[in-house]
Structure 1
Amino acid sequence: MKKPVIWITGASSGIGAATAKKFSKEGYAIVLSSRKEKELEKVKSECQYPEDCAILPLDLAEADSLPSKTEQAIQFFGHIDVMFHNGGISQRSLAMETEIEVDRKIMEVNYFGTIILTKALLSHFKERKSGHFAVTSSLVGIIGSPYRSSYAASKHALHGYFDSVRAEHFADNVAVTMICPGFIKTNVSVNAVTGDGKPLNQMDDAQANGMSAEKCAEKIFKGIKGRKEEIYIGGKEVMAIYLKRFVPGIFSKILQKAKVR
């Protein structure tokens, strides 16, 4: 019996690496992708069944290479069951201090790179009458917050795009799960770009005190297996979604006073 297959971008560290290990433990074959091949090798070695893990380096900013990368991903195990779009970059800079080239880079990686892979994989899912897109968004994919203007915009865009994909391909048995983490203890803030495109190189306090990537991966696995449309992961920061939804005026006042960085 063939193992189900999940392809994970951003698999070299953090949420991606933890999720790869969780799915391997649960009997999935894994295609591991990111820019960092050496780190992918390490993640593969730490999976429960490394013999069922394939490594496919890619850069989401290199749009022209992504359709052929999709073909390679399918060839490893003959099919893909779940595409976990987890690769991306974050931001820590005020909107007025962010160079437009940085805004464009964030959109190119987080949005365009993701949807190019999606377009390349949709025919495979449609032909098989089965498939699942899981997409790492963020709480700021639903709410905006200071220092994350273009990051929030890229994640908001993913929600609009994948809500449409879900509706368009319901009859093809293609599912979409939007994953909205809050503060997870990873290097996402360390690697976040600043206004001039340089990395922040420091850990946010909220990130440092956040949920472990392993616990986050457990929730992601459960959400994907349950074919949930949207899942919120984190601590008390998740309440921000409900405040925004039900009392937006009060939420705006809280956000204006908050020291969010």
Structure 2
Amino acid sequence: MKYAEQTVWITGASSGIGAALAVAFAAEGAKLILSGRNEAALAEVAAQCPGARTIAFDTTDLTALPGIVVDAGPVDILVNNAGISQRSLALDTDFEVYRRIMEVDFFAPLRLTQLVLPGMVTAKAGRIVMIASVAGKAGSPMRTGYCAAKHAMIGYADALRAEIAQYGVAVHVVTPGFVRTNIAVHALEGGGAERGRSDASIDAGVSPESAAATILAGMAAGTREILVGDGPEMMLGKLRGSDPDRLFDMMAAAAPMVER
């Protein structure tokens, strides 16, 4: 088995892609550390993963992270999956919502990576996995904060990869399109409340289990940017390079028309 006996730490492991990754890694014989804020949900996922440890914490509690990393011990694979999305127009979004999204989707995974990485460098082996998004490749309306955070995550990961390849540590960026999770349900609206409903496009996406299988296969193949999805949204990243004006016009056409 490709991941047998490797210690894999997954954040945001209580549901969606994180939970599916946990089950998939467990089937490969990995030793799991599962993190999230919902202890009961984490326990349910851990029950499907023999020997899994759970460490419940808020990834944005940056002062607690050093101690948590010490408790976790050496890690072979870190999967930064915890995240939050957005569904609000820029003109209607409070600044604190932007701050919250950047803290969860960018600064939290950056800080956890920063703390785990020295152990990998010393071991001259390891993998950092960043669960980003197609939204990190294209600016989609109603998601200005989310797109900004995922663009930042991808930029950080690409630069980090270049720096640490010399130490035998790999960086994988995962860019999912539409995956059937509750990401839209929990997305923040302009005032900070959860949206409370999904999108038809999300509900028509690939399953979390399919996404997890694609990610594990991509990692095994050494793929540095792993695309996940089979819908038309997967072309957006390519358009940014091949025909950016077409992409910009498409996104403008998709934006809600609101009289001000």
Superposition TM-score tier, normalisation by shorter sequence = over 0.9
Query: Is 1:36 the equivalent of 2:38?
Result: yes
Counterparts of 1:88 and 1:234, CA distance in 2? 18
Verify the 8 A CA contact 2:11 2:36 in the aligned structure 1.
yes
Residue identity in the other structure for 1:154: A
Counterparts of 1:217 and 1:177, CA distance in 2? 14
Residue identity in the other structure for 1:237: E
5+ unaligned residues in a row in structure 2: which ranges? none
Residue identity in the other structure for 2:212: A
Question: What SS does structure 2 have at the residue aligned with 1:218?
Answer: helix
Identity %: 38
- Aligned mate of 2:161, from 141, 166, 170: 166
Residue by residue, what CA displacement relative to the aligned partner does 1:194-244 show, whole Å, maximum 9, x if unpaired? 111100000111011110000000001111222211011112210111122
CA RMSD of aligned residues (A): 1.2
Partner of 1:54: 53
Residue by residue, what CA displacement relative to the aligned partner does 1:177-197 show, whole Å, maximum 9, x if unpaired? 000000000000000111111
TM-score (norm 1): 0.94
Residue identity in the other structure for 1:26: E
Counterparts of 2:89 and 2:58, CA distance in 1? 26
Residue correspondences, number: 252
Deviation at 1:70, TM superposition (A): 1.1
Counterparts of 1:136 and 1:73, CA distance in 2? 20
TM-score (norm 2): 0.94
Query: Is 1:240 the equivalent of 2:236?
Result: yes
Counterparts of 1:68 and 1:239, CA distance in 2? 42
Deviation at 1:115, TM superposition (A): 0.8
Residue identity in the other structure for 2:248: S
Partner of 1:146: 141
Query: Is 1:216 the equivalent of 2:211?
Result: yes
Deviation at 1:258, TM superposition (A): 2.4
Partner of 1:190: 185
Verify the 8 A CA contact 2:142 2:255 in the aligned structure 1.
no
Counterparts of 2:161 and 2:248, CA distance in 1? 30
Counterparts of 1:38 and 1:230, CA distance in 2? 33
Residue by residue, what CA displacement relative to the aligned partner does 1:143-183 show, whole Å, maximum 9, x if unpaired? 11000001110111111111121111111101000000000
Counterparts of 2:67 and 2:171, CA distance in 1? 23
Partner of 2:223: 228
Partner of 1:73: 72
Residue identity in the other structure for 2:164: H
